[in-house]
C-alpha cells in the first residue's frame, strides 16, 4: 500500500510562537509531540501529504477538495501574517480522486473549494512539517455532512487512488478533541468532554481506529468534538494495512483537548522510537508540580504529606471511603491551616491536580485528604483514577503560603506562584515549573487559564510553596 503512516494532530493557533507569544509554553508536551511527528514525516519522505481538515470549506452534501495548482495560507487572522505556508497540489492525484468518485453516493468537488486559502487547521501541521521537510505535494480535503462511514470510505478511495499512481503518502488528520473540558474554558464544561477525550485517547493507544465508530453518539455531540470525522477518514485510508498506534501526548489546559497520535504501517515504523511523553517524562511542562516520571526507580515514600495523599487516594479509589485524619502525624499537619495542591502523575504524564489557594478545612491534613480525593476523581481534564492504576502513580504535595498583592516586578517564576484576577475571573500558576522561565510567560499562562485576554489589565498576587516529594521536601 502507498499509505506509510497517519498522524492525528490538533490545531490550536497559539501553538505557533508568533501567535502564542509565550502562551504556547502551556502546551509544551503538544509542541514536543508535534516536532516528533514532523521529524518522522521527514524520515518517511512522502511524495504526497494528505490533510483532512475540519476548517476547510465544508458542505452538508459534498466533500471539498483543493484543486490546485497551488494552495497558500497565512496566520493573518491571528495577527501573524508572516507565518505562511505555500504548497503545490498533487493535481494528478486530485483528478484521480474526482474521477473515481464521480459515480459515488457521496460527492467530492474541487469547485466547492471556491478559491479559499489554506485554512489554519491545515497550515499548523504543515508549518511544523516544513521545519524539517519540503519535498512533498499536498492534497487537502474538507469534512462534510455525510455519515461516518462515508468519511471512512473516502479515506479508502484516496488511499486506493494514491496506490494506483504509486504515491508514497502520509495522512495528517487535523482535529482537536472536546471543547468542553473546563468551566473557565472558552466553551464551558460538559461531563461528556473528559469522557470523550479519555475514550479517544484509549482508542489511539490501542491502535484500533475502527473503535471510533462505536463511540456513543450522544457523548460525542455533548463533548463538542472537532476532529472525529477527520480521524474517521484517516481510518479509512489505513484500512487494509497492518498498522500500530501510539498516543504521543494529550493535554487540555485551556479547556480544549489536544491529542497527538501516530499510526505507522508495518515495515515503516521507526526503530526504537518512543513517544514524546516518554522521552520528555522527566521534563514535563504542566500547570502543576512535576513528577519524576519513573515508577521503576521511585523513591521510598517517607514524607508524611505525600504518604497521606497516597493513602487518601487508595481509600477512595478502592472503597469510596473518605480517609479520616490518622494518628501520629506531625503537629504542623494537624495544628496548622494552609492551602494545598495535590499533583498526580502516571508514567510522567499529568493524571490529576486539584488544590486550594487558601485553607477551607480544619487543618493541613484534612486539606490534603480533600484535595487528593478531588485530584483523583474530579479533575475535569481526566477520567477518575482506576484501581489498577494505583501502583503506577507518583504524587507530590504543595503547601502554599498566604498570598499577597504584588506588582509584576516583584515576581520570580522560580520562587513565587502567581494568582491573576479580574472581576470573577481568576487563574493560578504554581512556581518552579519546567519551561516557565520569565514573569511574562508565567502571567500569560495564568491569564489564559483565567480567560483574561493578553491585553487586559489584571490584579496580581504572589505566594510561595513548600513542595513535598515522596522522600523529601523543598522550599521553592
Confidence (pLDDT) at 181: 92
- Evaluate whether 445 touches 26 at the Cβ level (below 8 Å): yes
- Evaluate whether 173 touches 9 at the Cβ level (below 8 Å): yes
Query: CA distances (Å), 417 to each of 361, 413, 439, 458, 475, in order?
Result: 22, 6, 10, 16, 12
**Residue 69, preceding bond cis, omega within 30 degrees?**
yes
**pLDDT tops 80 at residue 68:** yes
C-alpha cell at 400: 502554599
**pLDDT tops 70 at residue 128:** yes
Q: Average pLDDT, stretch 411-437?
A: 87
**pLDDT tops 50 at residue 376:** yes
H or E element: which one contains 250?
A: strand 243-251
Confidence (pLDDT) at 273: 37
CA distance 17 to 25: 9
Q: What angle do CA 79, 83, 86 make, to 5 degrees?
A: 135
**pLDDT tops 70 at residue 291:** no
pLDDT band at 292 (very low <50, low <70, confident <90, very high): very low
**pLDDT tops 70 at residue 288:** no
Confidence (pLDDT) at 106: 82
Where would I find the beta strands (DSSP E) of 287-357?
340-346, 349-355
pTM for the whole structure:
0.59
Lowest-confidence region among 187-201, 217-231, 266-280: 266-280
Nearest to 278 by CA among 214, 205, 339, 335: 205
- Evaluate whether 138 touches 90 at the Cβ level (below 8 Å): yes
Confidence (pLDDT) at 126: 98
pLDDT over 90, % of the chain: 71
In order of their start, the domains of the chain are 3-279 (3.40.830.10), 304-475 (3.30.700.20)
Residue labelled with grid coordinates 481509600: 315
Confidence (pLDDT) at 395: 95
Q: Average pLDDT, stretch 30-57?
A: 95
**pLDDT tops 60 at residue 167:** yes
CA distance 165 to 107: 22
pLDDT tens digits for range 327-374: 999 999 999 999 999 999 988 788 988 888 888 889 999 999 999 998
Confidence (pLDDT) at 95: 96
Lowest-confidence region among 101-115, 280-294, 381-395: 280-294
Query: CA distances (Å), 224 to each of 180, 188, 191, 194, 261, in order?
Result: 6, 10, 11, 11, 20
| Mean model confidence pLDDT for the chain | 88
Residues with Cβ within 8 Å of residue 362, at least 6 apart in sequence: 337
pLDDT band at 183 (very low <50, low <70, confident <90, very high): confident
**pLDDT tops 90 at residue 123:** yes
Residues with Cβ within 8 Å of residue 415, at least 6 apart in sequence: 431, 432, 464, 476
Confidence (pLDDT) at 170: 98
The dihedral through the CA atoms of 367, 373, 379, 380 has a sign that is negative
Confidence (pLDDT) at 324: 93
pLDDT over 70, % of the chain: 93
Amino acid at each position: 500500500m502507498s499509505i506509510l503512516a497517519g498522524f492525528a494532530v490538533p490545531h490550536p493557533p497559539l501553538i505557533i510562537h508568533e501567535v502564542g507569544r509565550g502562551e504556547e509554553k502551556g502546551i509544551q508536551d503538544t509542541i514536543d509531540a508535534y516536532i516528533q511527528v514532523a521529524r518522522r514525516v521527514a524520515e518517511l519522505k512522502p511524495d504526497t501529504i494528505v490533510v483532512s481538515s475540519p476548517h476547510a470549506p465544508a458542505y452538508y452534501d459534498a466533500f471539498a477538495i483543493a484543486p490546485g495548482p497551488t494552495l497558500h495560507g497565512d496566520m493573518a487572522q491571528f495577527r501573524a501574517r508572516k507565518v505562511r505556508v505555500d504548497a503545490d497540489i498533487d493535481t494528478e492525484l486530485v483528478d484521480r480522486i474526482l474521477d473515481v468518485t464521480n459515480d459515488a453516493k457521496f460527492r467530492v468537488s474541487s469547485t466547492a473549494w471556491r478559491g479559499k486559502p489554506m485554512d489554519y487547521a491545515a497550515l499548523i501541521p504543515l508549518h511544523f512539517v516544513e521545519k524539517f521537510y519540503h519535498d512533498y505535494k499536498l492534497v487537502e480535503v474538507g469534512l462534510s455532512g455525510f455519515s461516518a462511514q462515508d468519511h471512512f470510505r473516502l479515506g479508502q478511495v484516496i488511499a486506493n487512488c494514491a496506490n494506483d499512481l504509486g504515491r508514497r503518502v502520509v495522512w495528517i488528520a487535523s482535529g482537536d478533541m472536546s471543547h468542553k473540558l473546563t468551566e473557565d474554558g472558552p466553551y464551558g464544561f460538559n461531563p461528556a468532554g473528559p469522557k470523550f477525550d479519555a475514550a479517544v485517547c484509549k482508542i489511539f493507544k490501542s491502535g484500533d481506529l475502527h473503535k471510533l465508530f462505536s463511540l456513543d453518539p450522544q457523548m460525542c455531540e455533548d463533548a463538542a468534538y472537532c476532529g472525529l470525522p477527520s480521524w474517521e477518514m484517516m481510518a479509512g485510508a489505513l484500512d487494509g494495512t497492518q498498522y500500530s498506534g501510539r498516543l504521543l501526548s494529550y493535554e487540555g489546559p485551556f479547556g480544549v483537548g489536544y491529542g497527538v497520535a501516530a499510526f505507522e504501517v508495518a515495515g515503516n515504523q521507526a526503530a526504537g522510537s518512543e513517544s514524546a511523553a516518554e522521552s520528555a517524562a522527566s521534563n514535563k511542562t504542566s500547570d502543576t508540580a512535576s513528577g519524576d516520571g519513573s515508577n521503576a526507580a521511585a523513591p521510598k515514600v517517607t514524607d508524611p504529606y505525600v504518604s497521606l495523599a497516597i493513602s487518601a487516594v487508595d481509600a477512595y479509589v478502592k472503597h469510596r471511603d473518605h480517609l479520616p485524619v490518622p494518628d501520629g502525624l506531625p503537629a504542623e499537619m494537624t495544628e496548622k491551616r494552609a492551602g494545598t495542591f495535590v499533583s498526580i502523575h502516571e508514567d510522567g504524564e499529568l493524571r490529576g491536580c486539584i488544590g486550594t489557594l487558601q485553607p477551607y478545612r480544619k487543618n493541613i491534613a484534612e486539606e490534603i485528604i480533600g484535595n487528593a480525593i478531588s485530584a483523583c476523581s474530579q479533575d475535569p481534564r481526566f477520567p477518575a483514577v482506576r484501581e489498577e492504576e494505583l501502583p503506577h502513580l507518583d504524587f507530590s504535595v504543595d503547601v502554599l503560603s498566604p498570598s499577597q498583592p504584588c506588582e509584576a516586578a516583584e515576581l520570580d517564576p522560580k520562587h513565587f506562584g502567581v494568582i491573576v484576577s479580574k472581576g470573577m475571573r481568576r487563574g493560578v500558576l504554581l512556581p518552579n515549573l519546567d519551561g516557565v522561565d520569565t514573569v511574562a510567560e508565567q502571567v500569560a499562562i495564568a491569564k489564559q487559564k483565567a480567560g483574561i485576554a493578553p491585553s487586559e489589565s489584571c490584579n496580581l498576587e504572589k505566594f510561595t510553596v513548600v513542595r513535598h516529594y515522596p522522600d523529601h521536601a523543598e522550599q521553592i
